A and B are shown apart, each in its own frame.
Chain A
Amino acid sequence: MFDGLLALGQSIAAFSTPETIFFALLSCLVGVVIGALPGLTATMGVTLMTTLTLKMPSSQALLVLICTYVGAIYGGSRSAILLNIPGTPASAAACLDGHALARQGLAGRAMGIATSGSVLGTLIGMFFLAAFTPVLGNLALRFGAYEFFWLALFGVIVSATLTGNDPLKGWIAGALGLFVAGIGQEPIHAYERFTFGTRDLAGGIQLVPALVGAFGLAELLAVMYEKSAPVRVSAYDSVIPKLKDVFQYWRTIFRSGVIGTFIGILPGVGEDVAAWSSYAAARRASREKEKFGKGSIEGLMAAETGDNACVPGAMIPVLTLAIPGSAPAAVLMAAMLIHGVRPGPMIMTEAPQFVYDVVTMMMFATIGIFFYGLTLTKLLTKVLAVPRTVIVPIIFVLCAIGAFAIASRLFDVWVMVVFGVVGFVMRRFGYPLAPMVLGIVLGDLLEKNLRRGLVLSDGDLMPFFTRPISAVIFAIIAVTILVRIPAVRRLFARRGPAAGSA
């Protein structure tokens, strides 16, 4: 434990330079603004900043990306409270009580609650990040091909089941993502698949252009399609967080922090599910259930603590298993690889200090959102009033650069456009995009380990089910799928009362 604290101290000392603090504050500001602007998500923000930081030293680049991520998740609450429009999907739950408080003339207090919830949520998540990552990292060293195959499938299935509101469409999106990952040269014989003779496709579909399309252009197309209502910013009072709110709802904060972190650890599930789960848990446990949806401080605190705690939580599987806990974390993982950091089971052996560097980056981001929580309200209300007709083309220009800059290929700009249009259509018809993205990220891991496992066992499928860790992950996958099938649920519902009466 003392080794861990010492390593954390070293990281904090290394990052405490004026230049680093400047970059942390600047990127938090960018994140808060991106998060606050409806139609711009944390994933889009982190993806665009990945391009901007390509030539920076790796530690500074990752600091900028993490601060943007944390800032964007926090920034979403501003438009949720002031406009009743969630700046990011993660803030949808905050709309319910945040805007209700604003209608009562308490927008400033609501923003203060969002600030304290977000700061404390990130701190709780940071604690678990520092405490769990080394443990999980050591456990991951026991994983072999069979376990990694199931883990990759688990990631896609869990993401597909819990994001969106239709598991069947989530599974289809996940399978499509896994298929897309297989386009290009396959990992064993370098055989070209589904390339139709084009050289560009032989290299495969790169993650960043696909992400910029799915989370950038698709969002912009949604903004174009939705007729924008006139922006009416609610009046606000003092935004300084009240200690009374923190002390009164400390149980809610702690519970939401733990739930948010746990949801973050689940692959590809993300902040919106963390916010709604924390909100639902707070409502169940509350003595003031009737206030939820009508301006409940507890409800807003739960939603904001949950979604921000999810951010450090989402980094735990990235660091230990190379499996992203959310869509923005998938981009962060891609950025780590671009900057020469190899996340995964070997991280605690090869670069243990990096884990504490990430914790320190989260700490800087927390300070950043606290600072802007107190100071930025006036500027943000001005930014929120900028018409979308101006923001959309500027963001699209950044999307084009974001897709191009990683490999300097025009082909990637076309990939971005295709994924944007397909992503928009899929979203219109209720298909969640997070499982598709996770499928693209995990496709290679899944395929390599399935084929490796089959070669090792000479085609015998039993090791996939009989090795203890494999069996556990398989059982979780099976239960996750089965409980979502209505016919199975009906069967259990029928058997339940019958068993009870017998």
Chain B
Amino acid sequence: VRPAVDRPDVVGSAVWIVLGVAIVLAAVAMDRMENQGGTLYTAPGLVPGLLGLAIAGLGVLLGVRALRGGNGARAWQGTSVVPAVPAQAGAGPDPVADTSAAARDAAQGDPRALAVGLLLCLAYALGLVGRAPFALSTFLFVTAYVAVFEWRRRGEAGQRVRGIVLALVYGAGTALVVSTLFEKVFFVRLP
């Protein structure tokens, strides 16, 4: 049976090839600074051009390997020092002793939590920081993050109000402690 094509690596390969070719084209178009006595060896595009070639070339290799399926990748991984999946290591609560639904659930990723968390982080880093006072931005971000991520658990436990109050405490505490520690104790400028 022909092994299945490794789709993520095919996409990755295409990204690297496009990036590599774009770098090479940009490098070729760069000024060689000949008016300042520059030669091919001192041309600003020399090293980026070589790196672009390397990225595109490695992208081609990755693509060929991905199209051949899983065996190609395994052959490359055969001599790795760090195990691909360390047996037992990092599995979290012992799967033998802990057969709870929560432990089984933990083995899978949570894209929704990732999307919400990333959105909050982006709102803080790109929207609030630098535009609003740092302590206020931090208070809003930490409070919102803790409240959103604790919402379900607190709701199930019938402690929603307590959860929100705790989120406010965490938000205010973080804003106060971080601002004081960095600005007053360590004299670090805050955004």
Contacts and interface: CB of A to CB of B under 8 A. Distances in A.
Interface of A: 51-56, 80, 83-86, 92-93, 95-96, 99-100, 103, 162-169, 171-172, 175-176, 178-179, 182, 186, 188-189, 191, 193-194, 217, 220-221, 224-230, 232, 272-273, 276-277, 280, 293, 387, 389-390, 392-394, 396-398, 400-401, 404-405, 408, 410, 413-414, 416-417, 421, 429, 446-447, 450-451, 454-455, 459, 483-484, 486, 489
A395 B46 CA distance: 40
Contacts, number: 257
B106 A179 contact: no
Interface of B: 8-9, 12, 16, 23, 26, 30-31, 33, 36, 38-42, 44-48, 51-52, 54-55, 58-59, 61-62, 65, 72-73, 75-84, 86-94, 97-98, 100, 102-103, 105-111, 113-114, 117-118, 120-122, 124-126, 129-130, 138, 141-142, 145-146, 149-150, 170, 174, 178, 181-182, 186-191
Q: From DSSP, what is the main secondary structure of chain B's interface residues? A: helix
Contact of B110 (A226, A276, A401, A405): A226
Nearest to B118: A221
A172 B55 contact: yes
23 contacts: A83-B92, A86-B90, A95-B89, A96-B88, A169-B62, A171-B58, A178-B51, A179-B51, A229-B98, A232-B98, A272-B82, A280-B81, A293-B87, A393-B170, A397-B142, A400-B129, A404-B189, A405-B190, A414-B125, A417-B122, A429-B9, A454-B41, A455-B42
Most B CB atoms within 10 A — which of A169, A217, A272, A400?
Answer: A400
Given A389-B150, A400-B125, A486-B76, A179 B55 contact: yes
B178 A99 contact: no
A175 B90 contact: no
Contacts of B120: 393
Contact of B91 (A84, A164, A392, A446): A84
B10 to A, nearest CB: 11
A168 B62 contact: yes
A182 B47 contact: yes
Most A CB atoms within 10 A — which of B62, B76, B98?
Answer: B76
A186 B44 contact: yes
Contacts of A194: 26, 48
Nearest to B71: A486
A84 B88 contact: yes
A95 B92 CA distance: 9
B44 to A, nearest CB: 4
A176 B55 contact: yes
Nearest to B33: A189
A220 B19 CA distance: 27
B121 A396 contact: yes
B87 A96 contact: yes
B53 to A, nearest CB: 9
Given A193-B44, A227-B105, A413-B191, A164 B80 contact: yes
Nearest to B110: A227
Contact of B145 (A393, A413, A455): A393
